[in-house]
């Protein structure tokens, strides 16, 4: 059946990028309809805010932009047009003030994504944006109209322009399954392979390590790889390790595993002490103490550190203070696999950036704009992902506005 009415612009995807694109266009006077395959809007956005919504970051803009790696030139333009302060002002305009946490991360005062999303949807409704759920995009028909699969059968939707904000391929149960990629590839659009980003990494633990350490945190440590060191906390999982420091280093670690089958990181289990300080403290411990008691008494290092040292140090003589100190300061851990896309926070890969013009319109498909995580970029957790999605959504919305304004 045909869709009743003729929306001037269609947005496919009701996540942050799609919704902010819809708001940008509706505020410019365009008629906008948003379609999403899921039963409700913003499901991954709500998941991101489950432990406190980290909306952006307060660090200086030059450092901020460096977080986008190879995509930094594009995001320098996008974020210059919609910087972190603009995002904070936008939250405030919805009645949700923000604050800067001790780590420099920015959060809504409510901490909850649900409060922000409800206010946002009310604003969109007030702007005349219509939301159509349980509509899975399936491509185009012979007339160029967008086609959707719905519980009531197929729907065809004509539109003057469209914004695709379909997400990447992480957390597929929340709607980002990458199923759109073949639809664009069939039209000649180059799509880079999806890979996990901001993910944990795997190695083969012994049964003994799992029995002693599975689920336990490694607090106040530092992880070093490829010349970069990140402090934070990791958790021992059944298949390896995960946590913030690894998320920030995920791109180079993933690349090393893809290239050589192994990536060895260095864990500093006591980063606030120098190696000589650790040696001195351990040397003063009683020779009759076990390794676990030495670590606990001299360095306040409890479980799972002793089990982890035995697991990763091989045949090292942990009873010798110099050897033990060296491992506390630089414990090698070799990862052999990346956690799967279904468990990754985000994904790399997607529409190649050289497929887009300066307005984020696909060069091969005039009138089709792309934004958000479906583009081939990645950034660490800490507010950079959401900022990138918002900024690219604003740019796509402005791109549609400008493109329609000059069409004959």
- Report the domain count for the chain: 2
pLDDT tens string 128-153 = 999 999 999 999 999 999 999 999 99
- Regarding whether 328 and 213 lie in a shared domain, the answer is yes
Largest Cα–Cα distance of the chain, in whole Å? 87
Residue 3 resides in a domain: no
What range defines the domain where residue 161 resides? 9-197+348-406
- Regarding whether 215 and 173 lie in a shared domain, the answer is no
Its pTM stands at 0.92
- Regarding whether 327 and 231 lie in a shared domain, the answer is yes
Assign 5 a pLDDT band (cuts: 50, 70, 90).
Answer: low
Mean of pLDDT values over 48-77: 92
- Regarding whether 306 and 397 lie in a shared domain, the answer is no
Which residues are within 8 A (CB) of 274 and not within 5 positions of it... i.e. 6 or more apart?
Answer: none
Give yes or no for residue 160 having a pLDDT over 60. Answer: yes
Q: How far apart are CA 394 and CA 22, in angstroms?
A: 9
CB 292 within 8 A of CB 282: no
Assign 1 a pLDDT band (cuts: 50, 70, 90).
Answer: very low
Mean of pLDDT values over 346-362: 97
Residue 2 resides in a domain: no
Residue 28 resides in a domain: yes
Decide which of 338, 371, 396 is a domain's last residue: 338
Token code pair at residue 63: 């450092």
- Regarding whether 313 and 170 lie in a shared domain, the answer is no
Measuring CA to CA, how many Å separate 177 from each of 107, 323, 376? Answer: 27, 47, 15
**Which pLDDT value is given to residue 2?**
47
173 vs 187, higher pLDDT? 187
pLDDT tens string 222-260 = 999 999 999 999 999 999 999 999 999 999 999 999 999
CATH number at residue 364: 3.50.50.60
């Amino acid at each position: 059946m045909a869709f009743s009415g003729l929306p001037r612009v269609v947005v496919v995807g009701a996540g942050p990028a799609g919704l902010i694109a819809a708001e940008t266009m509706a505020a410019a006077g365009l008629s906008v309809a948003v379609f999403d395959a899921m039963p409700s809007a913003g499901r991954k956005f709500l998941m991101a805010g489950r432990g406190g919504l980290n909306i952006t970051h307060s660090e200086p803009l030059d450092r901020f932009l460096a977080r986008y790696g190879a995509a930094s030139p594009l995001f320098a333009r996008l974020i210059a047009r919609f910087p972190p302060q603009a995002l904070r002002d936008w939250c405030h305009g919805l009645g949700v003030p923000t604050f800067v946490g001790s780590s420099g991360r920015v959060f809504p005062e409510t901490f909850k994504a649900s409060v922000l999303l409800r206010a946002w949807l009310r604003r969109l409704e007030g702007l005349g944006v219509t939301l159509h759920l349980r509509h899975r995009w399936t491509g185009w028909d012979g007339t160029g109209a967008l086609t959707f699969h719905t519980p009531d059968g197929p729907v065809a939707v004509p539109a003057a322009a469209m914004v695709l904000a379909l997400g990447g391929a992480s957390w597929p149960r929340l709607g980002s399954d990458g199923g759109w990629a073949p639809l664009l590839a069939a039209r000649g659009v180059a799509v880079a392979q999806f890979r996990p980003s901001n993910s944990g990494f795997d190695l083969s633990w012994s049964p003994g390590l799992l029995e002693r350490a599975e689920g336990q945190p490694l607090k106040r440590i530092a992880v070093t790889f490829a010349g970069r060191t990140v402090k934070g906390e990791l958790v021992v999982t059944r298949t390896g390790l995960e946590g913030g420091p690894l998320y920030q280093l995920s791109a180079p670690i993933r690349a090393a595993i893809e290239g050589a089958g192994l990536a060895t990181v260095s864990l500093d289990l006591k980063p606030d002490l120098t190696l000589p300080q650790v040696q001195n403290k351990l040397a003063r411990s009683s020779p009759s103490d076990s390794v676990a008691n030495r670590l606990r008494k001299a360095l306040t290092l409890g479980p799972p550190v002793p089990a982890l040292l035995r697991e990763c140090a091989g045949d090292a003589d942990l009873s010798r203070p110099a050897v033990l100190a060296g491992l506390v300061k630089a414990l090698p851990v070799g990862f052999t696999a990346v956690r799967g896309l279904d468990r990754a926070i985000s994904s790399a890969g997607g529409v190649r950036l050289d497929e887009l013009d300066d307005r984020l319109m696909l060069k091969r498909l005039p009138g089709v704009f792309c934004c958000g995580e479906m583009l081939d970029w990645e950034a660490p957790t800490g507010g950079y992902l959401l900022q990138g999605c918002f900024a690219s959504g604003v740019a796509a919305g402005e791109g549609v506005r400008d493109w329609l304004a000059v069409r004959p």
